[in-house]
Structure 1
Amino acid sequence: MPVKALYDYDFPSADRVENFGDDQLVYVHWLGNPLFCSAAAFRAPRDIPFGTFLTEIVWPWAGSDPDFDPSQVAGWQLFDEQLTPDDGASLTDLGIGHKALLKFRTE
């Protein structure tokens, strides 16, 4: 349902890419996990290697589920497209931009 403001609303979004310098926001969603019912947002450097992004940012978050096993992660998606990540490639090199949504499943 649309909302009509009663006045001029001129407030730029606080999560604009220019507010993050060399960093960006990346959303990560563990599909099918009832403990994580929605995506989590992480601030990460654009040039961080994907493998480092996983081990330093995503795995500690996912590890809050006692059943998490990184070796069971499969089926990466960037938005709704399949993604075959290279652990040495940066987020930018993989096309993972500001406010991108990464999804994964576990086997």
Structure 2
Amino acid sequence: MAVKALYEYKYPAADRAEIFGEDQLLYVHWRGNPLFCSAACFRAPQAMSFNDFVAEIVNPWAASDPDFEPSSITDWQLFDDALDPGDGSASLTELGIGHKALLKFTTA
């Protein structure tokens, strides 16, 4: 349902990129897992490698599911496009992962 403001709203968004400096917000969604029915949001350095992002941010979050096995992560997507992180040494920025991007994965 749409909301109609009674006045002009002139406040900048609190989650805009310039607020976070060298960091960015990233949404991560584990597709097909009923325990995580929606994406979670994390703050991560733009220069962080993809491997470090997975090891330091995604794996600890996903480990709250007792069936999670880190080696079973497959099929990464950036929004709805396939994402091939290669060997994982590239930074998030080098992979085209920007502020408020949605990363999705499944497990085997």
TM-score (norm 2): 0.96
Deviation of 1:74 after TM superposition, in Å, equals 0.6
After TM superposition, list the pairs within 5 Å mapping 1:1-107 onto structure 2: 1-86=1-86, 87-107=88-108
- Secondary structure, in 3 states, of the residue corresponding to 1:64? coil
Q: Alpha-carbon deviations, 1:52-98, whole Å to 9, x = none?
A: 00101110000010100011111100000001113100000000000
Q: Alpha-carbon deviations, 1:10-66, whole Å to 9, x = none?
A: 111000000000000000000000000000000000000000001011100000101
How far apart, in 2, do the equivalents of 1:42 and 1:60 lie? Answer: 12
How far apart, in 1, do the equivalents of 2:81 and 2:8 lie? Answer: 38
Deviation of 1:3 after TM superposition, in Å, equals 1.9
Deviation of 1:7 after TM superposition, in Å, equals 1.0
Give runs of ≥4 in structure 1 deviating > 4 Å: none
- Secondary structure, in 3 states, of the residue corresponding to 1:74? strand
Gaps of 5+ in 1: none
- Secondary structure, in 3 states, of the residue corresponding to 2:61? helix
How far apart, in 1, do the equivalents of 2:9 and 2:53 lie? Answer: 37
Equivalenced residues, count? 107
Let me know the Cα RMSD of the aligned residues.
Answer: 0.7
TM-score (norm 1): 0.97
Alignment-mate amino acid for residue 85 of structure 1: P
